[in-house]
Chain A
Amino acid sequence: MTMKTLATAALAGLLASGPALAELVIPDLSYRTGPYGANGTPFSDGYQDYFALLNARDGGIGGETIRINECETAYNTEKGVECYEATKGDAPLVYQPLSTGITYQLIPKVAADQIPMHTLGYGRTSAAAGETFPWVFNYPATYWDAASVAVNYLLSENGDDLSGKTIALIYHNSAYGKEPIRTLEELSEKHGFTLTQLPVDPPGQEQKSQWLQIRRDRPDYVIMWGWGVQNQVAIQEAANVGYPMDQFIGNWWAGAEPDVMAAGMAADGYKSLNMNRIQNYPVLDEIRAQVIDAGNGAGDGSNVGTVLYIRGMYTAMLAAEAIAKAQELAGSPQITAAQMRDGMEALEITNARMAELGMEGIGPEFTVSCENHSGSGEGLVQQWNAAEQVWVPLTDFIAPDKSVIDPLIAEDAAAYAAENGITPGCL
């Protein structure tokens, strides 16, 4: 009997059941409360509903049913650690914390415990260097990719010339928001645009000063690295000061329905990055029919098809594909966390496979390797249509400027390796 079960017994006077074998256990460190609960809920719903669909439709993956182990973190790092410790005894296959803060806590822990972690488009960018971070994956793209994709999009809008332009970065004043700064600085040097930085203290209720400054300086473009209420207020304030929405681009965590709904029609034309194309995929109908209507949905179904829901579902699909790959490599339907890692490192996502899964074109094609844990790094630009209340993809997937990002990743990974005494190498 583990101490965890002892704790349970002591606290409640009852014995908890031990982990059931012959199941694929996926912990979901979700947050449905707290300042970011409105963002965490649809993501988690999508993540869980996809696994529920696999259970209902295919009997799991490779004949093994999937069990979700949800744990509420409230976007709080301490609760995240508690959740990790509480769930890791259950033979989990992959962690997915949806919080850059929690990711940083877990990076050393998952390496020590040998459990893979997937941080899709968030977390520590340099974890793309798989030789230094063998247990951490951040495919299909990283923050630095996002910054570069945004700049590449602007380049294409301006005939490949941004010299003399000004770009303002308005960011969440936290680890998450500061991530793109270094890349954008490099890119501003390379392309000759001026970068101004406007930090917003979380949660970001008050942004009057920042937007008055934008109104006065009239930068050519505003890029936003926001999360939670900051996004809503920023879009509202941008509308208030009359900043043109089509010159305002959020990253992929600042481009979901809750962000634009509060501003109503004023948000029309706002752009954001996304690593997923938003459209009505056949798989969504299957989820509605076999999961939601069967009463097995993680939420009430109202989120199905929203940006963050689709991203959660996409994340689940990537995990499911990695499980299938791992089963194939291991030659058995039951896999361990280490085998899961091998599956993730050998993951290959093709257009054909996505179409087969009923989500054609949802993400870029990419392969993962030991040297590259971040996939292709591609992202697209989408635009909010306030009248129809839909996000409309504007572009196809745009490739980032790897010549700028790769040296930065190598440098940061080397610093981490040196600080922590890691000898980089493939497992």
Chain B
Amino acid sequence: MLYREAGDFKTTYAADSQTFPIRSDRWRYFAVLAIAWGVIPFVIDDYWANAILVPFLIYSIAAIGLNILTGYCGQVSLGTGGFMAVGAYSVYKLMTMFPEVSIVVHVILAGGITALVGTAFGLPSLRIKGFYLAVATLAAQFFLVWLFNKVGWFYNYSASGQISAPERFVAGVAVTGANTAPWAQYLICLAFVTVCAIVARNLTRGSVGRKWMAIRDMDIAAEIIGVNPLTAKLSAFAVSSFFIGISGALFFAVYLGAVEVGEAFGIQKSFLVLFMCIIGGLGSIFGSFAGAAFLVLLPVALKVLGVDLLGWPSSTVAHLQLVAVGALIMFFLIKEPHGLAQLWRVTKEKLRLWPFPY
């Protein structure tokens, strides 16, 4: 009886609609939070921060954002890279225009600006559906990248068109710029991730989330029972872009420190984040984390395995890495099309019955 729900009674509707209705789940959740906040900041080093944890956290925000749009509202988007670029360039302009304002405010505002842009590009979703919409969002992807590359105002007319994050502080501690300690990088990302995940969870368990899911599962029926498709879809685009904008802002300001739009926010980024959602599980916040962790860790793990341990030439490992990532994606889709989150649910159901499966 490792995992049980029997004897866990609810006496109020509020208790029943909480995020982790089962007690052992709740404890595990608090344990994860305690480790993330109380242990990791003290042991983290540059490698773990920059190669694994910070990108994992930032991609988690992007994956949650895209999952709201694609997983909950059913609108497939390939414009994630472009929207992340909006977040990055917004935060850059805000940081350089108003250096006295806190970076936290700038990141949130960058999310807001991205939400506006995302909503505008979400308008065609009212007429265009399915793959046609997915391809249409590529218009946003390519156009936004072109725009940030072309218009000098966005990159303050720097010679190469690159943007670099100046040093900014939160409570006297540097969180952007070269002198940022790994724990500071990690903590600011963790703070945003925690808030974003809670907000996403709140939205998806309430009436807004039900509207999105209704649109996803059957848009015509949803409209007939009273869901306004315009506001439902646009709110999904807005909220999704808000998260993606925040992740883009952090990606630029905290993680990379300097970006070039076509390279950092190209079409590959859009696919990567979509992969995270699908491998993790569409329509699952936990899945967004699982997918982000999987796709951040997998290449690093393969590289450590191939180059450091087996001593293969790095080019062969890089090629094999493509093969392995591709094969694993296909394997996962065949074995569990609903992603890691579903795998986890199935495992839990088995655990609940363990050791007496009947």
A residues whose Cβ falls under 8 Å from a Cβ of B: 2-4, 7-8, 11-12, 14, 16, 30, 32-33, 37, 41, 70-72, 74, 76-79, 81-82, 84-86, 88-89, 100-101, 104-105, 107-109, 111-112, 124-126, 173-176, 178-179, 181-182, 201-202, 408, 412, 415-416, 419-421
What B residues does A415 contact at CB under 8 A?
Answer: 158
**B167 pairs with A421, CB closer than 8 A:** yes
11 additional contacts, CB 8 Å, given A76-B263, A104-B162? A3-B43, A12-B305, A33-B315, A85-B46, A89-B46, A100-B260, A124-B160, A126-B159, A175-B161, A178-B161, A181-B159
CB within 8 Å of A: which B178-236 residues: 178-179
Binding site for A on B (CB under 8 A): 43-52, 55, 96, 146, 149, 158-162, 164, 166-167, 177-179, 255-260, 262-264, 297, 299-301, 303-305, 307-309, 313-315, 317-319, 322
Instruction: Known contacts A41-B315, A81-B50; decide if A202 and B304 are in contact (CB<8 Å).
Output: no
Chain A residue with Cβ nearest B322: A33
How close is B266's CB to chain A, nearest CB, in angstroms?
9
Contacts of A176 in B (CB 8 A): 160
User: Is A173 in contact with B262, judged by CB distance below 8 angstroms?
Assistant: yes
Known: A174-B161, A412-B159. A7 touches B304 (CB 8 A): yes
Q: Which 10 A-B pairs have the closest CB atoms?
A: A108-B178, A32-B315, A175-B160, A112-B178, A104-B258, A3-B45, A33-B318, A85-B50, A72-B314, A72-B318
Is A72 a contact partner of B317 (Cβ separation < 8 A)? yes
Q: Which of B149, B166, B258, B307 makes the CB contact (< 8 A) with A173?
A: B149
B259 to nearest A CB, angstroms?
7
- Distance of A387 Cα from B104 Cα, bound (Å): 62
Collect the chain B residues with CB atoms within 8 Å of residue A108's CB.
164, 177-178, 257-258
Is the Cβ of B159 less than 8 Å from the Cβ of A70? Answer: no
Main secondary structure of the interface of A (DSSP, over half): helix
Partner of B44, one of A3, A124, A175, A421: A3
Contact between B50 and A104, CB atoms less than 8 A apart:
no
Query: Which A residues are CB-close (under 8 A) to B162?
Result: 101, 104, 175
Task: Determine the residue in chain B with the shortest Cβ distance to A409.
Answer: B159
The answer to whether B304 touches A12 (Cβ under 8 A) is yes
Bound together, the chains give a CA A419 to CA B309 distance in angstroms of 42
In the bound assembly, the distance between CA atoms of A72 and B314 in angstroms comes to 6
B262–A85 touching, CB < 8 Å:
no
- How far apart are the CA atoms of A175 and B164 in the complex, in Å? 12
21 contacts between A and B (CB under 8 A): A2-B47, A7-B300, A11-B297, A30-B314, A33-B315, A70-B314, A77-B260, A78-B264, A81-B256, A86-B47, A89-B47, A100-B160, A101-B162, A105-B257, A126-B159, A174-B263, A178-B161, A182-B159, A412-B158, A420-B167, A420-B177
Within the assembled complex, what's the spacing in Å between the Cα atoms of A182 and B157?
Answer: 10
Cα–Cα distance between A105 and B263 once the two chains are bound (Å) = 12
Query: Measured between alpha carbons, how far is A396 from B147 in the docked complex, in Å?
Result: 41
- Cross-chain contact A107 with B258 (CB below 8 angstroms): yes
Chain B residues with CB under 8 Å of A11's CB are 297, 300-301, 304-305
Which A residues are in CB contact (< 8 Å) with B51? 81-82, 85-86
Determine how close the nearest CB of chain B comes to the CB of A40; give it in whole angstroms.
9
Provide the residues of chain B in CB contact with A420, threshold 8 Å: 164, 166-167, 177-178
How far apart are the CA atoms of A336 and B177 in the complex, in Å? 24
Q: Which of B49, B52, B164, B264 has the most CB of A within 10 A?
A: B164
How far, in angstroms, from A79 to B302 measured CA to CA in the complex? 13
Q: How far is the CB of B184 from chain A (nearest CB, A)?
A: 13
B327 nearest CB across to chain A (Å): 16
CB distance from A81 to the nearest CB of B (A): 6
B164–A3 CB distance below 8 A:
no
B43 touches A111 (CB 8 A): no
Q: Indicate which residue in B178, B297, B314 contacts A109 across the interface (CB closer than 8 Å).
A: B178
Tell me the complex Cα distance, A79–B317, Å.
Answer: 14
Residues of B contacting A85 in the complex (Cβ-Cβ under 8 angstroms): 46-47, 49-51
CA distance A31 to B330 in the complex (A): 26
Known: A4-B45, A126-B159, A182-B159. A174 touches B304 (CB 8 A): no
Contacts of A71 in B (CB 8 A): 307, 314
Q: Does B178 contact A178, Cβ atoms closer than 8 Å?
A: no
Q: Which residues of B contact A111 (CB under 8 A)?
A: 178
Residues of A within 8 A of B263 (CB): 76-77, 101, 174-175
B164 to chain A, nearest CB (A): 7
Contact of A12 among B259, B309, B322 (CB under 8 A): B309
**Chain A residues with CB under 8 A of B257:** 105, 108-109
A14–B260 CB distance below 8 A: no
A104 touches B52 (CB 8 A): no
Contact between A8 and B48, CB atoms less than 8 A apart: no
A260 and B178 alpha carbons, distance in the complex (Å): 40
Q: Which residues of A contact B260 (CB under 8 A)?
A: 77, 100-101, 104, 174-175
Question: Contact at A7–B308, with CB atoms within 8 Å?
Answer: no
A77 contacts B164, C-beta separation under 8 Å: no
**Which B-chain residue is minimally distant from A71 (CB atoms)?**
B314
CB of B138, distance to nearest CB on chain A (Å): 14
- Measured between alpha carbons, how far is A261 from B5 in the docked complex, in Å? 68
Instruction: Choose among B44, B256, B297 the residue that contacts A105 (Cβ–Cβ < 8 A).
Output: B256
Point out the residues of chain A lying under 8 angstroms from B45, CB to CB: 2-4
- B310 — nearest CB in chain A belongs to which residue? A12
Q: Closest CB of chain A to B18's CB: distance in Å?
A: 33
A8 to B303 CA separation, bound complex (whole angstroms): 10
Cα distance, A84 to B258, chains bound together (Å): 15
Q: How far is the CB of A324 from the nearest CB of chain B, in Å? A: 27
What's the Cα separation between A52 and B219 when bound, in Å? 65
Tell me the nearest residue of chain B to A37, going by C-beta.
B315
A4 to B45, CA, bound (A): 8
Chain B residue contacts of A30, Cβ below 8 A? 314-315
User: Which residue from chain B places its CB closest to the CB of A202 in the assembled complex?
Assistant: B262
Look across to chain B and name the residue whose beta carbon is closest to the beta carbon of A111.
Answer: B178
- Checking B149, B164, B305 against A104 with a beta-carbon cut-off of 8 angstroms, the contacting residue is B164
Question: Is the beta-carbon distance between A77 and B264 smaller than 8 angstroms?
Answer: yes
How far, in whole Å, are A112 and B51 apart by their CA atoms in the complex? 17
> What is the CA–CA distance of A421 and B165 in the complex, to the nearest angstrom?
12
